[in-house]
Structure 1
């Protein structure tokens, strides 16, 4: 601390400014904030697969294959995420809301 005399002052100001941030500060983040909805919607399914809610069945299958390869339980992925990925594919392929 002796080598950089103003460092402790700057650190305390930075910590204070970070503590004043709230969740609305991250509203424009590219990541979806929140958990899973009780009943999956087309919007949630499209967010899970990373495609448009009106994507074709071919795009749904391609996106499912790509996402599932990264999250499959046999390769260290979560069984819950794999189930949600499959549910999203089924919902978007069926065309129901």
Structure 2
């Protein structure tokens, strides 16, 4: 019984230290993460057709979706 209480306490302490380390590491990486998210957002948005669609797909819409002429 006492051994399991100690094990639970050590597990909680390890989780607390790991969480604190992760938060501190993220604070240092925050500018790079924001920059990467902005770059990926812009690059993904360029390749997709953002317009509306007709009830029945025509050749023009198909070419816009596929990105071909």
TM score, norm. by length of structure 2: 0.33
Bigger helix share:
2
Q: Which has the higher contact order (CA 8 A, sep 6+)?
A: 1
Q: Bigger radius of gyration, 1 or 2? A: 2
TM score, norm. by length of structure 1: 0.27
